[in-house]
Chain A
Amino acid sequence: MSADIILIIVVGSALAFDFTNGFHDTANVVAASISTRAMPPRIAVGFAAIFNFVGAFLSLKVAATVGKDIVDSGSISMTVVFAGLIGAIAWNLATWYLGLPSSSSHALIGGIVGSAFAAHGAGAVLGDGLLGKVVIPAVIAPTLAFLVAGTAIIAAYAIVAKQRPGPVNRGYRLGQLLSSGLLALSHGTNDAQKTMGIITLALVAHGNIAPDNFHVPDWVVISAASAIALGTYTGGWRIIRTMGSRIIKMDPAQGFASQGAGAAVILAASHAGYPLSTTHVISGGIMGAGAAKRVSAVRWGVAGNIIVAWILTIPSAAIIGAFIYGITRIFGASSAVGPVVVSVIILGGSAALFLRRAQGAGGLEATT
């Protein structure tokens, strides 16, 4: 009975995380389209939500990586999964509140690694998987997106040189319908799968799925796709502002190149099963498209703050995940009381943050 209650809380928390992931990462997908006026903000967000939903059904390789290759699924309990999720949600909410586009994916992985470490020691963490499938791609992917977007925009400017800017800009704005759709699709493909992997990990811990027969049930795919799409639609206006205008001022060609580069990197990584951060990738793409035109066009101070948030994400979420695991353990290793108490606290904290943000939301929306 207690295990069933914890499973329900874990699935609820995972879907809540998925919602915050979509909410938090909306900026990644729509910032370029909004900044270049290719689409009005609400339309861009709705468009992204639909493609996020569709993208979640495209592949399950990333879900398998999260469920099997980061921590030892055989030794993970539901309390560990719960603590990891709460660590990720807490970090996501904090960075959202501060307007920093940090990585939801790395928050999730950091949270799970931290709680698994606190529960079972270093043996529960699959170091090779963590390094090879998360840390190294985390360095390569944004660099690659930076270079691809930079090369792409140089080529684009060379091709349309000496043409009238009006029709050229209109052409690239039209193209951004395609590139932003593709970016949203790739976001859904990579990010929704992380939640699918976590819920499946909880089902393994609960005994519904054998560790040696890891597969993602259909209801998990559908619920994760719905949660991320809903979160995306709800949107994160504060981060949209950071991503859309504070890093660089984009023209439509830069918007197209950065979104195209981001989508290409994320889709290629999803195909290989790497749980990438879409935030990292599209930030790299935006910076690459800006720097290729003029190095000083990139607001490197803001970019530096984002990089600091990237570096802090995995260790911070891991520390919070370990701390939450410690809290839940106070109430007993297999008791549902700990997760219930922590859920109530995190819900109260989230409500307080949303209320504080809602007070300033009008002003923020007016500036996007």
Chain B
Amino acid sequence: MIVAKIIDPQAAWQAIWTAAVAGVGVTIVFSIAVLGATRAADLRRDDRDAQAVVFAGLGLLGFAATIAAVVYAITLITTK
């Protein structure tokens, strides 16, 4: 009760979950990018081009999601 008076619980909770989702989320999507790039390189070396393309696509998707998350975070802090 006292804590609720001195801290805005809604703002605090929003900051906590936003940080948690963004921090874990960015690492996950970037890890997917790393996985895609690594597997694509390995598969290309083994002449499995079709599968390499799939993993390269996955890597690009992960990288694009990482960039999108960063841009969204900066946009959010500058516009609100």
Contact = CB atoms under 8 A, between A and B. Distances in A.
Interface string B23-45: 11011101111110111011000
Helix, strand, loop or mixed for chain A's interface?
helix
Contacts of B54: none
B74 A260 contact: no
A152 B28 contact: yes
A227 to B, nearest CB: 21
Given A148-B20, A159-B28, A178 B15 contact: no
A110 to B, nearest CB: 18
A132 B11 CA distance: 11
A169 to B, nearest CB: 9
For chain B, the bracket of interface size reads: 35 or more
A59 B18 contact: no
Contacts of A147: 20
A207 B70 CA distance: 40
Contact of A140 (B16, B30, B33): B16
A211 interface: no
A151 B78 contact: no
Given A128-B6, A132-B7, A270 B77 contact: yes
Given A148-B24, A155-B24, A163-B38, A269 B19 contact: yes
A163 B35 contact: yes
A58 B28 contact: no
B23 A264 contact: yes
Interface residues of A, number: 49
A265 B20 CA distance: 8
Contacts of A136: 3, 6-7, 12
Helix, strand, loop or mixed for chain B's interface?
helix
A155 B27 contact: yes
Nearest to B16: A144
Contact of A155 (B3, B12, B28, B39): B28
Contacts of B67: 178
A60 to B, nearest CB: 11
30 contacts: A59-B78, A136-B12, A140-B16, A148-B20, A151-B24, A155-B24, A155-B31, A156-B27, A160-B34, A160-B38, A163-B34, A163-B39, A168-B34, A172-B30, A172-B34, A175-B66, A178-B30, A179-B26, A182-B70, A256-B27, A257-B27, A260-B23, A261-B27, A263-B23, A264-B22, A268-B16, A271-B15, A271-B76, A271-B80, A272-B14
Interface of A: 58-59, 128, 131-133, 136-137, 140, 144-145, 147-149, 151-153, 155-156, 159-160, 163-164, 167-168, 171-172, 175, 178-179, 182, 185, 189, 253, 256-257, 260-261, 263-265, 267-274
